[in-house]
Amino acid sequence: MKIAVCIKRVPEMDVNFKIAASGKGVDEAGLKWDMSDFDGYAVEAALQLTEKLGAGEVHVISLGGDVVQETLRKALSMGAAKAVQLKCDAVPYDAFAIAAALAAELKAGGYDLIMFGKMSIDGANGVTQFVVAELLGLPLVHACSKLEIAGGKGTARREIEGGGELVAFPLPAVVSIDEGIARPRYPSLKGIMAAKKKPLEVRPAQLGEVRLTVEKMELPPARAAGRIIGEGAGAVPELVKLLQTEAKVL
Amino acid sequence: MSHVAFALVLALALGFFSYNAQRLVRYLRIGHDENRLNDIPRRAWNLLRIGIAQTKILRDPLAGPVHALVFWGFLVLQVGALEIIAQGLIPGFTYAKILPGPLYWLFLASQELTAAAVLAAVALLLYRRIVVKPRRLQGDGVHSGDAIFILSLIGALMVTLLVTSATDRALGVDHPAAVQPLSAALAQLFASVPHGAVQAIHHVSWWLHALLILTFLNYLPYSKHLHVIVSLPNTFLSNTSGPGTVGAMKKMDLEQETEVFGAADVTHLSWKNLLDGYSCTECGRCTSVCPANITGKALSPRKIVVNTRQRLLEVAPAIVGGDDVFGMPFIGAARGDAESRAALLDHKLLDNFITEEELWSCTSCRACVYECPVSIDQLEIINEMRRNLVLTESRFPEEVQPAFESLERNGSPWAFQPSERAQWAEGMDIPTMAELWERGERPDILFWVGCMGSFDDRAKKTTVAFARILQAAGIKFAILGQEETCNGDPARRMGNEYLYQMLAQQAIETLNRYEVFTIVTSCPHCFHQIGNEFPQFGGNYEVIHHSTYIERLLADGMVPLKHETGEKLVMAYHDSCYLGRYNDVYDAPREALKRALPVVQLVEAPRSRDKGLCCGAGGGRMWMEERVGQRINVERKKELLATGAEAVAVACPFCMTMLNDAGMKLESTVPVYDIAEVVAARIEARSGDGEARPSEGRSEAGE
């Protein structure tokens, strides 16, 4: 069982972002970076699959500059066997361009299962895995919350509006992972030390054509402060009026 | 003929004992190497103070003096035992032949009186073991049989000693009755007994005494009473009492190529941890003061040490070989085939003897270490095993992971942004180190705020109060602001040495960049960490806890205090473990409170100072749920409330949170204040005519 997990390095999201001078991205000064949350679930799910089957290995692939090696090393310290950096100076915004590079790498790898997080937590497009599946001609299961592999076949549970959906699929396949499948393990020091000796291959990314670019990025408008219109029953008519005319919720 | 027989018996006894001694030493050597011969003067002082003077034994007001008596008696009676052995080998030998009369009489009197006192002590101890059965002597699979046997042996030694000297007198040996009052009285009993019979009794009694000594010696290696031999060297070799080594965790070499980090088994511990196992006499003092144990959790420090010894005796024979001697199997020796040997090696200290649950229950309060009369370091074993769980196995309570991740990402165990770190200081006109540095200025002190003091709403009030005191006293100080990061103490205490070292090195880098010399902090955990553990990584600073600093400012009359007396507030001060037992700061916070007199009246909880009960948050417990037993903080708060205090004073943000939470659970309205808040509330507001105030304040404080 050979599993590939495609992971992305993203900034920590719980900060107050500033727009970069170019107006087309965020100011990266002072940001902390880590593996995208859903990708972390995917790595964990992949590791658990191989542990459960008692065979196979997990490879992790990431696209970007040398800084992504840190994210790849983290996955190696969690237990992945090999990492591949598809090197490019700037990660394009276009999911197709990225998917083409990933598909080129994955095609040669002979993987039984290709895993993604259901989306990156920064761009939040959730598109790349679809394009990769299409380029490789493989079935895709999106946003799995449970995943089992037995006898060369997979079954997965997907959360859908108001219920769940159990799907079966043949291998090889592409799956993307939703939260709830497994909490990513905390790498032990033993794992971190072992990761230093694991192979990390670097090759140029064979990016596809970039047809989508960001023109402008903006922050949501600052919320207006609350207003006190009065106290007690006397304030009610004014409140009702404002809810009708200003907030338009009544 | 009988001298030849004695020589044979003696040789056999010594031979058997030395075989056992070398066996035990060989077992120790399966542990890691560690140098414990540095700082000899301090070690010698500990040996005298703790070992010989029995200062720690005497912490128990009842059992303490009785045991100390037996120990000192043991020392005195060794002189007599040597005479007996010499007598056995050299016909007709007595000290009388080499000592001048009065000195010999002194020797006789010392033996006689000591024997009587020890006999009385043994009777008391037997009564205690058999009838009273104190709680701390129960549990952890501890059985009184061993102790009762030894006590009986000691008793028999005393009886035979007295009978021997009494029959000696009855047979006509004439010493002044004044130096042998008991024997003289006993000798009267033998007056009517025929000479031959007395001679026989004397002979038997002498032989019994001599044989009992040799039996005792050879019983020790099979018993908890091995502590008779091991506890003095253990005290000498221990790091538990001494400046710079108190409570400082061992530095780990993380670059070292190894499969196992921390300790999963006895082979991963140091030889000194294993010697601790030999030294343990199962008195249970450690367990009786353990906050986790008191409140019904699985942890018992005694069990940790006893298990370490049990596992050592189980596995060491299989590792070092030499299972038996003269075809006689030894206790704990590995017998049988390769399969059972493999099964033994497959066992480990972790899981098979000591569970995860026990290890995570520890609050690192150091009460166990502090209480141990023979200087065992239970905490070091716990810490090493926690390291194994985290660094090798990544096994820890679920709640801990967010704290680790947050420390990594945000430099704080809570998910706060570094940019919010100095929000408390807004509008207070407090410079950061970076700002001063840019202006080419240096502060007198760096105020290290700590994560709790920076982010926790309640603790921020302490932070502000302390800053106000510094401002009122005219101290030139700065903070690091956004550049401050957690010093890593929680990570280290939770076994994550890797994360700790990253954080510590980062903090040291920042401090060294600004050439910081003096640091004051309101958090005892930061105080301990930066002051006692950063030197391991090249961070050497003068670190002062805010309680000490405030006390000094008050003593120097630098804080202008209000004049009006106000209403007297009855306060109980709660000792923080990392301030008290870790750093011996007990008086400064109390003095600071008293100097806020006459408003504050101090009362003491029954468990205070070095016997203080933990708040329950240390050792990373702050980030773990307390699911089993009663809550430590509630237990502690009850105790503090029982003093009748109208307010509780603390000097630690963790204690503050824990005691506040406990207050809510107990629906108590008794408030908790940090000493900085108590003092800050008494600062005289500076008004236009207040110029004379500071000097008046000085005279007031000086009274």
Which residues in chain A have Cβ-Cβ distances shorter than 8 Å to B393? 188, 190
pLDDT band at B419 (very low <50, low <70, confident <90, very high): confident
- pLDDT average, residue stretch B20-40: 92
Give the bridge partners for B448, in sequence order: B521
Task: Tell me the three state secondary structure of residue A62.
Answer: strand
Handedness of CA B579, B582, B583, B584 (dihedral sign): positive
- How close A188 comes to chain B (CA, Å)? 5
Tens digit of pLDDT for each residue in B572-618? 999 999 999 999 999 999 999 998 877 788 999 999 999 999 999 99
- Chains A, B: CB contacts within 8 A come to 39
pLDDT at position B270 over 80 = yes
**How much is the mean pLDDT over chain B?**
91
- pLDDT average, residue stretch B455-484: 97
Percent of chain B with pLDDT over 70: 94
Pairing state between β A153-160 and B569-573: unpaired
Q: What pLDDT is attached to residue B324?
A: 53
Of A16-20, A162-166, B254-258, B351-355, minimum mean pLDDT range: B254-258
Q: Output the CA–CA distances (angstroms, integers) from residue B157 to A215, B77, B78, B88, B114, in the order listed.
A: 97, 10, 12, 16, 12
Which residues in chain A have Cβ-Cβ distances shorter than 8 Å to B396? 186
Q: What pLDDT is attached to residue A92?
A: 93
Q: What pLDDT is attached to residue B335?
A: 55
Q: What pLDDT is attached to residue B598?
A: 75
pLDDT at position B305 over 70 = yes
Determine which of A33, A193, A197 to mutate to test the interface with B (most B C-beta atoms within 10 Å).
A193
pLDDT band at B140 (very low <50, low <70, confident <90, very high): confident
Q: How far apart are CA B101 and CA A78, in angstroms?
A: 80
B497 contacts A12? CB cut-off 8 A: no
C-alpha closest to that of B579 among B528, B542, B543 = B528
Which residues in chain A have Cβ-Cβ distances shorter than 8 Å to B392? 188-190
DSSP, res A183:
P
- How close B391 comes to chain A (CA, Å)? 5
pLDDT at position A242 over 90 = no
Q: How far apart are CA B16 and CA B633, in angstroms?
A: 52
B393 vs A: CB within 8 A: yes
- How close A187 comes to chain B (CA, Å)? 7
pLDDT band at B323 (very low <50, low <70, confident <90, very high): low
- pLDDT average, residue stretch B638-666: 97
Q: What pLDDT is attached to residue B322?
A: 58
Q: How far apart are CA B282 and CA B287, in angstroms?
A: 10
- pLDDT average, residue stretch A212-226: 88
Q: How many Cα atoms occupy the beta-carbon half-sphere of B529 within 13 Å?
A: 25
Task: Tell me the three state secondary structure of residue A91.
Answer: coil
- How close B390 comes to chain A (CA, Å)? 6
Picking from A12, A32, A187, the nearest residue to B394 by CB comes out as: A187
- Higher-confidence residue of A116 and B92: namely A116
- How close A235 comes to chain B (CA, Å)? 33
C-alpha closest to that of B272 among B383, B377, B386, B385 = B377
Picking from A15, A16, A190, the nearest residue to B392 by CB comes out as: A190
pLDDT at position B687 over 70 = no
Tokens of A149: 């592999």
B390 vs A: CB within 8 A: yes
Which residues in chain A have Cβ-Cβ distances shorter than 8 Å to B410? 32
B405 contacts A15? CB cut-off 8 A: no
Which residues in chain B have Cβ-Cβ distances shorter than 8 Å to A191? 394
pLDDT band at B331 (very low <50, low <70, confident <90, very high): very low
Pairing state between β A153-160 and A163-170: antiparallel
Q: Which residue of B has its CA nearest to A197?
A: B257
Helix (H) or strand (E) holding B130: none
Of A7-11, A154-158, B100-104, B565-569, minimum mean pLDDT range: B565-569
Q: What pLDDT is attached to residue A31?
A: 87
Q: What pLDDT is attached to residue B686?
A: 61
Tens digit of pLDDT for each residue in A118-130? 999 998 999 999 9
Handedness of CA B274, B275, B281, B284 (dihedral sign): negative
Percent of chain A with pLDDT over 90: 76
Q: What pLDDT is attached to residue A234?
A: 85
A189 contacts B392? CB cut-off 8 A: yes
B677 vs A: CB within 8 A: no
Q: How far apart are CA B368 and CA B247, in angstroms?
A: 12
- pLDDT average, residue stretch B507-524: 97
Which residues in chain B have Cβ-Cβ distances shorter than 8 Å to A184? none
Q: How high is the ipTM of this complex?
A: 0.83
pLDDT band at A231 (very low <50, low <70, confident <90, very high): confident
The pTM score is 0.91
pLDDT band at B697 (very low <50, low <70, confident <90, very high): very low
Residues in chain A: 250
Q: How far apart are CA A5 and CA A42, in angstroms?
A: 7
Chain B 232-261, residues with CB within 8 Å of chain A CB atoms:
254, 259-261
Q: What pLDDT is attached to residue B269?
A: 97
Q: How far apart are CA B454 and CA B456, in angstroms?
A: 6
Of B253-262, B425-434, B658-667, minimum mean pLDDT range: B253-262
B259 contacts A189? CB cut-off 8 A: no
Q: Output the CA–CA distances (angstroms, integers) from residue B31 to A110, A234, B237, B266, B598, in the order listed.
A: 48, 80, 15, 7, 57
DSSP, res B270:
B
Which residues in chain A have Cβ-Cβ distances shorter than 8 Å to B415? 14
- pLDDT average, residue stretch B269-281: 96
B391 contacts A187? CB cut-off 8 A: no
C-alpha closest to that of A195 among A77, A88, A110, A83 = A77
Which residues in chain B have Cβ-Cβ distances shorter than 8 Å to A32? 409-410
pLDDT at position B34 over 60 = yes
pLDDT at position B330 over 90 = no
Of A52-56, A204-208, B495-499, minimum mean pLDDT range: A52-56
Q: How far apart are CA A207 and CA A88, in angstroms?
A: 8
- pLDDT average, residue stretch A21-41: 92
Which residues in chain A have Cβ-Cβ distances shorter than 8 Å to B502? none
Picking from B254, B394, B419, the nearest residue to A185 by CB comes out as: B394
- How close B491 comes to chain A (CA, Å)? 13
- pLDDT average, residue stretch B395-402: 95
Tens digit of pLDDT for each residue in B339-364? 777 888 899 999 999 999 999 999 99
pLDDT at position B308 over 50 = yes
pLDDT band at B632 (very low <50, low <70, confident <90, very high): very high
B498 vs A: CB within 8 A: yes
A187 contacts B392? CB cut-off 8 A: no
Q: What pLDDT is attached to residue A246?
A: 83
Picking from A12, A16, A189, the nearest residue to B498 by CB comes out as: A189
- pLDDT average, residue stretch B652-679: 96
- pLDDT average, residue stretch B619-647: 96
B393 contacts A189? CB cut-off 8 A: no
- pLDDT average, residue stretch B151-157: 96
- How close A28 comes to chain B (CA, Å)? 15
Which residues in chain A have Cβ-Cβ distances shorter than 8 Å to B391? 188-190
Percent of chain A with pLDDT over 70: 100
Percent of chain B with pLDDT over 90: 81
Picking from A185, A187, A189, the nearest residue to B254 by CB comes out as: A189
B501 vs A: CB within 8 A: no
Q: What pLDDT is attached to residue B700?
A: 35
